[in-house]
Amino acid sequence: MAKIKLSDISTTAPKKLDKEVIKANTRELIAELDELQNLLYAQRRHSVLVVLQGMDASGKDGVVHNVLGQMNPLGVRVQPFKAPTEEEMEHDFLWRIHRHVPGKGMIHVFNRSHYEDVLVQRVHKWVDEKTIQKRMDAINDFEKLLTEHNDTHILKFYLHISPEAQAERLEERMQDPRKMWKYNANDQEEAKLWKQYRKAYEDVFEQCNNIPWTIVPADHNWYKEYIVAKTLKDTLKGLKMKYPGLKQK
């Protein structure tokens, strides 16, 4: 596979699409997702892990709120990963991740994930390159474990926004009282490292691709939400699940 170059991939919705039509499609998809998730929960055979990655302000919280959070919370859990705690730092980098993977019947959503350990840590050079390479191998082994040993279907999304869209959204956080709580002076600093992040992401897409990534054009929220809903729906549909019927003793 040729290496993905993010600068070659559009961050916007295709021009020919009608926003209102797509939004209606997304509503239908969400209704289908609710039904499929119920089936997944009832059958308790597969599990689903949704990994959300993307730059600051790429809209991860929006996807959680408007798509993934629309399903029954009994069978859906959202787990954000922030900077590791002291206890977490005393273990291998996958230790805090592994305890939050979905059991059979569950959908877990990682808002940021184990990938931060080969992204933010790499960009800031907090760990050396040799360690980064080893971590990528370890991530591949780990995702294989989940896939092969627990029928976990992993969906990895990169929410792809342009630097301009990001700047605009970060600016909004300073102006809009409803968004100010999200403002973090550090985000402006991180935004300056755009090129380094882009390179680190491109390496991840190349080296941690046994389970493929979906690059989601994310400048338009309506299109981003549609793509995530559609990808998840197609995956769940592909499992050909059935209700288990009455339990036989």
User: Does residue 105 belong to the site contacting a copy of itself (CB under 8 A)?
Assistant: yes
- Output 59 or 105, the one with its CB closest to a copy of itself: 105
- Output 19 or 98, the one with its CB closest to a copy of itself: 98
With CB under 8 A as the rule, give the number of residues binding a copy of itself. 27
Max CA distance (Å), the chain: 62
User: Does residue 107 belong to the site contacting a copy of itself (CB under 8 A)?
Assistant: no
User: Does residue 98 belong to the site contacting a copy of itself (CB under 8 A)?
Assistant: yes
- Output 8 or 148, the one with its CB closest to a copy of itself: 148
User: Does residue 17 belong to the site contacting a copy of itself (CB under 8 A)?
Assistant: no
Task: Lay out the site mask for a copy of itself across 109-148 (x = CB under 8 A, - = otherwise).
Answer: -------------------------xx--x--xx-xxx-x
- Output 82 or 99, the one with its CB closest to a copy of itself: 99
Between the alpha carbon of residue 178 and those of residues 174, 220, 248, the distances in Å are 10, 20, 53
Structural tokens at position 23: 């939004």
User: Does residue 93 belong to the site contacting a copy of itself (CB under 8 A)?
Assistant: yes
Of 19-58, binders to a copy of itself (CB under 8 A) are: 44, 47
Q: For the purposes of burial, counting CB atoms within 10 Å of the CB of 124, is it exposed (0-12), middle (13-18) or buried (19 or more)? A: exposed
C-alpha 62: how far from its chain's center?
Answer: 12
φ, ψ of residue 50 in degrees (nearest 5): -105, 120
* Lookup result for tokens 């605009």: 168
Alpha-carbon distance of 31 to 29, in angstroms, equals 5
- Output 87 or 129, the one with its CB closest to a copy of itself: 87
User: Does residue 150 belong to the site contacting a copy of itself (CB under 8 A)?
Assistant: yes
**For 167-206, b where at least 16 C-beta lie within 10 A, e where not — what string?**
eebbeebeeeeeeeebbeeebeebbeeeeebbebbebbbe
Rule CB under 8 A: which residues touch a copy of itself?
44, 47, 87, 90-95, 98-99, 101, 103-105, 134-135, 138, 141-142, 144-146, 148-150, 152
